[in-house]
Every structure is written in C-alpha cells, then in structure tokens.
Amino acid sequence: MREVAALAGVSLKTVSRVVNREPGVSPDVTARVERAVTQLGYRHNLAASNLRRGHGRSAMVGALLQDVSNSFSASLLRSLEDAARDRDVAIVASSLDEEPARERSLVEGLVRRRVDGLLLMPATERHDYLADDLRSGLPIVFVDRRPNGVDTDSVTVDNAGGSRMAVDHLLAHGHRRIAFLGDLPTIQTARTRHEGFLAALRDAGVESDPAVEATSLRSPDDAIAALTLLLDSANPPTAVFAARNSLAIGAIRALHHRGVAGQVALVGFDDFPLADIVDPPLTVVKQNVAMIGFEVAKRLFARIDGDTSAPQHVVLTPELVVRGSGEIRPEQ
C-alpha cells in the first residue's frame, strides 16, 4: 500500500479511500491510484483492515458439521453459504465425526480466527464450555441437536415425533415385530429417536423386544451386520425402522443380500438423494434440510446483526414420505 501511494504520488490515506470506495476523492486521483494498484498487483489485506477497524469482525462464519461429505451436512452447508453470499461472508467448514475433542479444538480455532458466528452441530454432550464465548457476544446457533448447559439459538426437528410417524405407519400396515436400527445412544438425536420408537409401540399396546433392537451402529456396514443377524434369527422382524439415513442404506443392502428386499418393510429416518429409485423405493421420515438451513442462517445472521432477544428454539416437524418400502405388509 505504501508503494501504491508512492507510485500514485498520494498519501496512504488516499489509497485507503480509493480501495474502500469512500466518497470524497477526485476522479483524477482515483484513476491514478487504481492504475498504480493494478500495475503493482496490490491486494488489499482484509485482516489488517479488520484489525484496525476495531469492530473485531472477520466477515467469516464457522460451520461445524458432522461430516461435510454426508448429504445432510453438505446441504446444510450449502444453505448457509447461499445466505452468506449476499453479505460477502466466507464460511469456514469442518467435520466433527462425533468426536467431542475435535469439536472443542475446532471451536477454539474459530474463536482465535474471530469468526462472526458459529453454526454448530455438536458432537459433545454438554456445552458449558461455550459459556464464555457466548457471554462475550459470539453468536452460536445449534442445529440438529439442542444446547445443553448453555442457552443459545437452536434449530432441530421433532425426532421423537418423526420416529412415531414411522412406527405408526408400520403398525398400520399390520406389523407387530419391528426391528430398530440406531446410532450411538450418546448422540442426542439417536437417543430421542429410539425413545420415540419405544413410545409409539407402547402407545399401540405392542410389546417391544430388545432382541430386535440394535444400537451403536455407526456405518452402513454396521447396519448390514446387525440386520443380517436379525433376519437369520429364529423370530425375524417383519419390518425395520432405520433411524438414520446411512443405516437405512445398510438395511437396504442387507435385505438385498438376504433376498427379502420386497418382503420385509423398511422405513428410514432422514431422506437422501435417490431414495426414490432404490429397490424398492424407500419410505422415509423426511427432514426438510433446506428449511433447517434457512432457519439456521436466519437466526445466525440476525444475531450477527445485533439481535439480542432471548434464545429461540425452532423445532421443525418432519414429514412421512411414502414410496413403497414402508407399505409392504407382513407375510401370510
């Protein structure tokens, strides 16, 4: 910048004015400065600029997702990006992989980078560690899971209600022996979905059987193994509720391997691309990801713009999408 000023024969401050398009610079000088800028290949340094401006803003927000390569996280990221674009805010994205330690160190890193806000799909159980940052004014919006130990905005879906929809649907189609495939019970959403599953059975007067419930399943392969075991058991389930999309995918594979793809009913939680053209087309409880992303972005940027109202907890209702796999009736 000093060089630009020298070359254009003006002061530093004037260059600053031109670069920031501040009013009150003669066209003549503006042109001279701009020529010098391109000639020297000068690049404005945003970090230094923001430092001096003092407002402590970086024009960046952090997005801490579970896994940017999974469709749910990726779609969320995209929604946030679309909202951030108009404001020239950049997004720093990272994957947590359900590892609490990683969450904490990534949050730390983002705070050091002075992000203006944080989208957090937490891997931790308790969030007290964020209290300091929240108090100092860092906007944090939780997504998919609610904050615990601190109070800040969140956007979640009604997981228990979603499970209930799935189970009620299977019950309505005559099933009484419904397998449950779920993720780690330490994960809030996984736990709630399991509870919803059990509650729906109880309310219908159907006895649940832990023998057809598998939890702590982390991957499609885990789901394949678990479901295959159940199918091979003496008293196999006639229907399956897979409480996460990757587990539904594993379930589909397992059903295919065992050659019972059209005979055992299956409902998944969480839609995914192509769920309508797998064989048979998958009935799912769908979370409206675009809507979630929209709400999250809305909250986050409202906070960044100075909204200091009480924390809001938006809970969206998922929707049952009927496609075929969930309407298979039990044999005989």
For residue 28, the minimal CB distance to a second copy (Å) is: 25
Interface with a second copy, residue 288, by CB under 8 A: no
CA-based torsion, 261, 263, 264, 269: positive or negative: positive
Cα Rg of the chain (Å, integer):
26
Q: Which is nearer to a second copy, 85 or 202 (CB)?
A: 85
Interface with a second copy, residue 58, by CB under 8 A: yes
| 210 binds, options a second copy, DNA, none, Cβ within 5 to 8 A by partner type | none
Residues 231-250 that bind a second copy (CB under 8 A): 249
Among 132, 203, 221, 307, which residue interacts with a second copy (rule: CB under 8 A)? 132
Residues 49-88 that bind DNA (CB under 7 A): 49, 51-54, 56
Give the closest residue to 109 by CA, choosing from 148, 178, 60, 46. 60
For residue 240, the minimal CB distance to a second copy (Å) is: 15
Give the closest residue to 212 by CA, choosing from 246, 240, 172, 171. 240
Among 91, 260, 302, 314, which residue interacts with a second copy (rule: CB under 8 A)? 91
Q: Count Cβ atoms below 10 Å from residue 44 Cβ, excluding itself.
A: 12
Name the segment binding DNA (CB under 7 A); options: 40-48, 122-130, 208-216, 283-291: 40-48
Per the DSSP assignment, residues forming a β-bridge with 239 are 178, 265
| 54 binds, options a second copy, DNA, none, Cβ within 5 to 8 A by partner type | DNA
Interatomic CA distance for residues 148 and 113, integer angstroms: 25
Among 6, 29, 90, 198, which residue interacts with a second copy (rule: CB under 8 A)? 90
Interface with DNA, residue 44, by CB under 7 A: yes
Residues 20-39 that bind DNA (CB under 7 A): 20, 24-26, 28-29
Interface with a second copy, residue 88, by CB under 8 A: yes
DSSP of 87-156, one letter per residue?
Answer: TT-EEEEEE-TT-HHHHHHHHHHHHHTT-SEEEE----S--GGGHHHHHTT--EEEESS--SSS---EEE
Q: Which is nearer to a second copy, 171 or 254 (CB)?
A: 254
Give the closest residue to 211 by CA, choosing from 177, 182, 243. 177
Give the closest residue to 286 by CA, choosing from 323, 239, 312. 323
Q: Which helix (H) or strand (E) holds 218?
A: none
Altogether, the residues listed in the chain come to a count of: 332
Interatomic CA distance for residues 148 and 306, integer angstroms: 23
Do 10 and 29 contact (CB within 8 A), yes or no? Answer: yes
For residue 15, the minimal CB distance to DNA (Å) is: 7
Among 7, 25, 104, 114, which residue interacts with a second copy (rule: CB under 8 A)? 114
Name the segment binding a second copy (CB under 8 A); options: 47-55, 157-165, 177-185, 188-196: 47-55
Binding site for DNA (CB under 7 A): 1, 9-14, 16-17, 19-20, 24-26, 28-29, 43-45, 48-49, 51-54, 56
Residues that bind a second copy (CB under 8 A): 41, 43-48, 50-51, 58, 60, 67-71, 74-75, 77-78, 81, 88, 90-95, 109-114, 132-133, 135-136, 249, 252-253, 256, 272-274, 276-279
